[in-house]
Chains A and B, each alone.
Chain A
Amino acid sequence: MSVTDFWTPFELNSFLNALFIGLSIASIWLIAAVGLTIIYGTMGVINMAHGELIMLGAYTTYVLQTFFYIPFLLCLPLVFIIVSIFGLFIERTIIRRLYNRPLDTLLATWGLSLILIQGVRVIFGTAPKYVSIPSWLNFQVSLGFLHLPGFRLFIILATAALIFATWYIAYRTTWGIRVRAVMADPDMASSFGIDSNRIYSITFAYGAGLAGVAGALFGGLKTLLPDMGSGYIVEAFLVVVVGGTQLLGSIFSSIILGELASIFSYFTNDTFARFVLFTLIVIFLRFRPQGLITEGMKRR
């Protein structure tokens, strides 16, 4: 194998386009990870079933579309609500009992993910399903040499909107202040009359809902299979940990990781790109285990 076979020759326009695509990849990683950021950042819960919540979101969209003929845009809020309710149920039955044992949440939610995958498989069968995206999203953005499909643009905008909403709730509402108070010091917060259990429940439900919306969006890019979520979990965790479990950190880390992934796969192939990326992350965490951005507050 010669060098030229392995390395794509450099060409400026398409390299710039690769950077542009990096943003698009970043938006996908970010929307997959944002729910996890909130759940992990607030509660310290390592939700290994996060990918399966994404999968549930996609299947919910499929059901709403196929059996209830609900238009795609309207599906998004409905999916958010349905998956949130499911998240609330999980929190009440499983997660709640494990608040002092963060590593055990990792194990219990892994068990949960097995149940969800097989449950969906039993209900919907092994044949893949698909979500159809509205035809008005079938356009392309072309700015000179930059190309972006309309649906990708839609995902970027949706991600931005969700991030903004989350930021607004966290930093501009009383509710958000309470959440951040619980994050900073649960004991102190409860002595001020904040019901931390309730905060946790709602936070988990909110994070689950975000995962559901992510799933609804991914449904337009790929096939729906019961185990589609497992592909996202590693990336999502890396975004969260590299970012430092803060919203802002996750934004930065997903942009950096998305860009790196796009650039590496521009020059080499996708598989090798993953190897380089994961190795870099391990080295990064060695020197900065607290992640990119820390708020200077202590959790737990």
Chain B
Amino acid sequence: MSANIYHNRKAQWLAYIGLFCLLALVPALFDSPFLLNQLARYAVFAMLAVSVSLVWGYGGILSLGQGIAFGLAAYGMGMTMQMQFQDPVSDPVPSFMLTNDLSTLPLLWEPFWSTPIGLALTIAVPTIFFIGFGAMMFQARVAGVFVAIMTLAMLAAWYAMAYDMQPFTSGFNGISPPMPFEFAGVSIDPYSPTAYLICVGFLAALTLSAKLLMQSKFGLIVQAIRDDPERVRFLGYNVAYYQVIVFAISGFIAACGGLCWVMVVQYVSPTSLELTLSVSAVIWAAVGGRLSLLGAILGAYLVNGLQSYMGDELQDVWMIVLGSIFIGVVLFLPRGLVGLIEDALGYFTGKSETETSGVAIERAV
């Protein structure tokens, strides 16, 4: 095997931990609430990209429906925060409901009086939905393009639902909880270092656990299924079981992203269930490198950073640049930007293996 340091597990862990330490240091270095909030948003996008990297890069399942988990969780969090604002006695029903012909709180909203139950539902509902949806697809051995189309249709269905059920979701206008999220008596200002560190903490914990999982036997089987599901099936493994689990984990990660998202923006609308967001997440992962969780994170930070900082100067051409970058990456860098790093490191530290397929198991970081 090659001695490329890129494939050295110790070096990989060092890189991951180094990155997260760097991210955690940001509040100490910059005293700018705006920057912290912006970077917290990027961290949320990075979670979404990690979820794509896991399910697509490692699991070989191209899901265009990561926004389902993200959006459902975002609504859960939005509802939790809205109910924190309401008062059980004097003002029990959110304002937008009273003007939508609801005079009492709908049953769907009742559990969200309690913040812990609200948070639990925020994470559990999308995850369980992904288990059910995944089981439905993978037991029927749906694969490849069809998964992409089915997740796309499901996303479109949820979008229509969030949009149409106006008395419950405030429709297109969305829910804007008037107050920051409060947990255990502490109010978490979206522009504070606390909110930022929570987002980065989520990102780090989810990414490192995912990496650990992908290095385990379970992870190896998942990657083997990606490379050749038939062969794994013949070896006696229940392929659908592994696919459902990895799909559900990706849903869980996206749901955590949705939770943090509403915490830092204090707003949720059907746009989190739009196709654009889900495809963008795929773009971030692909640009950074879907075969590497770290790559996906870098992709999310890079593309969004470019969008924020370059967009203002070159408004007219931004979309063209983004589209071109994306086509370029797909055509010439199928392993994303980290593929370049891999080659560079291989050049300096050992024999590079770029000639062989980019999806060999040992390549996955």
B partners with A: yes
Q: Which residues of A contact B163 (CB under 8 A)?
A: 271
Give every chain A residue within 8 A of B145 (Cβ-Cβ). Answer: 46, 102-103, 106, 241
- Residues 77-136 of A contacting B (Cβ, < 8 Å): 94, 97-98, 101-104, 106-108, 110-115, 117-119, 121-122
Within 8 A of A (CB), among B251-281: 275, 279
Q: Does A173 contact B (CB under 8 A)?
A: no
* Given A115-B320, A285-B142, A271 contacting B326 (CB threshold 8 A): no
**Are the CB atoms of B153 and A238 closer together than 8 Å?**
yes
Interface centre among B136, B154, B320, by most chain A C-beta atoms within 10 angstroms, is B320
A107 touches B149 (CB 8 A): no
Q: How many residues of B contact A (CB 8 A)?
A: 42
Give CA–CA (A67, B325) in the complex, Å. Answer: 34
A274-B319 CB under 8 A given contacts A102-B144, A285-B149, A286-B142 = no
The interface bits of chain B over 150-162 (1 if a CB of A lies within 8 angstroms of the residue's CB, else 0) are: 1011101100110
Q: Give the residue of A46, A97, A102, A269 whose beta carbon is less than 8 angstroms from that of B164.
A: A269
B323 touches A122 (CB 8 A): no
Q: Are A241 and B146 in contact (CB under 8 A)?
A: yes
Are the CB atoms of A106 and B148 closer together than 8 Å? Answer: yes
Q: Residue-by-residue, is B317-332 near A (CB-CB < 8 Å gives 1, otherwise 0)?
A: 1111011111100110
**Does A138 make an interface contact (CB < 8 A)?**
no
Knowing A103-B62, A118-B320, the reply to whether A111 touches B160 (Cβ < 8 A) is no
Q: Which of A139-147, A217-225, A275-283 contacts B (4 or more CB under 8 A)?
A: A275-283
When the two chains form the complex, which single residue of B144, B153, B319 contacts A115, counting CB atoms closer than 8 Å? B319
Q: How far is the CB of B175 from chain A (nearest CB, A)?
A: 18
In the assembled complex, which residues on chain A have CB atoms less than 8 Å from the CB atom of B210?
A: none
Does A171 make an interface contact (CB < 8 A)?
Answer: no
The residue that B327 contacts in the complex, of A94, A122, A234, A269, with Cβ under 8 A, is: A94
The listed residue (B141, B142, B330) touching A104 by CB distance below 8 A is B330
Q: Tell whether A73 is near chain B: CB-to-CB under 8 Å.
A: no
In chain A, what residue has the closest Cβ to B142?
A289
Q: How far is the CA of A106 from the CA of B63 in the complex (A)?
A: 12
Asked if A1 lies at the interface with its beta carbon under 8 angstroms from chain B, I say: yes
Within 8 A of A (CB), among B94-142: 101, 136-137, 140-142
A248-285, CB < 8 A from B: 269, 271-272, 274-275, 278-279, 281-282, 285
CB of B149 within 8 A of CB of A278, answer no
Shortest distance between the CB of A274 and any CB in chain B (Å): 4
Residues of B within 8 A of A94 (CB): 327, 331
Complex Cα gap A98–B330 (Å): 9
Residues of A near B136 (CB, < 8 A) are 286
- Asked if A287 is an interface residue, CB under 8 A from chain B, the answer is yes
Contact, CB under 8 Å: A285 / B326: no
Which B residues are CB-close (under 8 A) to A278?
153-154, 156-157, 160
Q: B334 to A104, Cβ gap below 8 A?
A: yes
Question: For residue B318, which residue of chain A has the nearest CB?
Answer: A118
* A274 and B156 contact, Cβ closer than 8 Å, known pairs A103-B62, A115-B319, A287-B140: yes
Query: CB within 8 A of A274: which of B141, B157, B323, B331?
Result: B157
Given the known interface contacts A285-B150, A286-B137, the answer about A108 and B316 at a Cβ–Cβ threshold of 8 Å is no
| Docked-complex contact A234 and B152, CB < 8 angstroms | yes
Contact of A286 among B140, B156, B160, B167 (CB under 8 A): B140
Q: Please tell me if A62 contacts chain B, counting CB pairs below 8 Å.
A: no
Name, among A111, A122, A285, the residue most crowded by chain B CB atoms within 10 Å (CB to CB): A111
Report whether A118 and B154 are in contact in the complex, using a CB–CB cutoff of 8 Å: no
Please give the distance in Å from A12's CB to the nearest CB on chain B.
28
Q: Does A237 contact B (CB under 8 A)?
A: yes
B222 close to chain A: CB less than 8 A:
no
The answer to whether B324 and A111 touch across the interface, beta carbons within 8 angstroms, is yes
Which residues of chain B are within 8 angstroms of A103 by Cβ–Cβ distance? 62, 144-145, 148
User: Nearest B residue to A287 by beta-carbon distance?
Assistant: B140
For residue B146, give the distance in angstroms from its CB to the closest CB of chain A.
Answer: 5
How distant is B171 from chain A, measured CB to nearest CB, in Å? Answer: 9
| A226-241 Cβ-contact flags toward B at 8 Å (1 or 0) | 0000000010011001
Closest to B330 in A: A108
Q: Are A110 and B283 closer than 8 Å at their CB atoms? A: yes
Interface string of B293-334 (1 = CB under 8 A from A): 000000000000000000000001111101111110011001
Q: Give the distance in Å from the alpha carbon of A94 to the alpha carbon of B146 in the complex.
A: 23
Interchain CB contact under 8 A, A275 and B149: no
In the complex, chain A residues whose CB is within 8 Å of the CB of B286: 107
Residue of B nearest to A269 (CB): B164
Query: Which of A1, A104, A115 is in CB contact (< 8 Å) with B324?
Result: A115
B330→A111 contact, CB < 8 A: yes
Residue pair A112, B323 in contact (C-beta under 8 Å): yes
- Which residues on the B side are within 8 Å of A107 (C-beta)? 282-283, 286, 326, 330
A114-B320, A275-B161, A279-B157 as given contacts; A237 in contact with B152, CB under 8 Å: yes
Restricting to A1-40, which residues have a CB under 8 Å from any CB of B? Answer: 1
Asked whether, in the complex, the Cβ of A234 is within 8 Å of the Cβ of B275, the reply is yes
Q: A271 near B323 (CB under 8 angstroms)? A: no
Q: Is the CB of A281 within 8 A of B153?
A: yes
A82 to B99, CA, bound (A): 52
Q: Mind listing 13 A-B residue pairs with CB under 8 Å?
A: A46-B148, A94-B331, A98-B330, A111-B327, A113-B323, A115-B319, A234-B153, A234-B156, A237-B149, A241-B146, A275-B160, A285-B150, A287-B140
The interface of chain A, by Cβ under 8 A from chain B, is 1, 46, 94, 97-98, 101-104, 106-108, 110-115, 117-119, 121-122, 234, 237-238, 241, 269, 271-272, 274-275, 278-279, 281-282, 285-287, 289
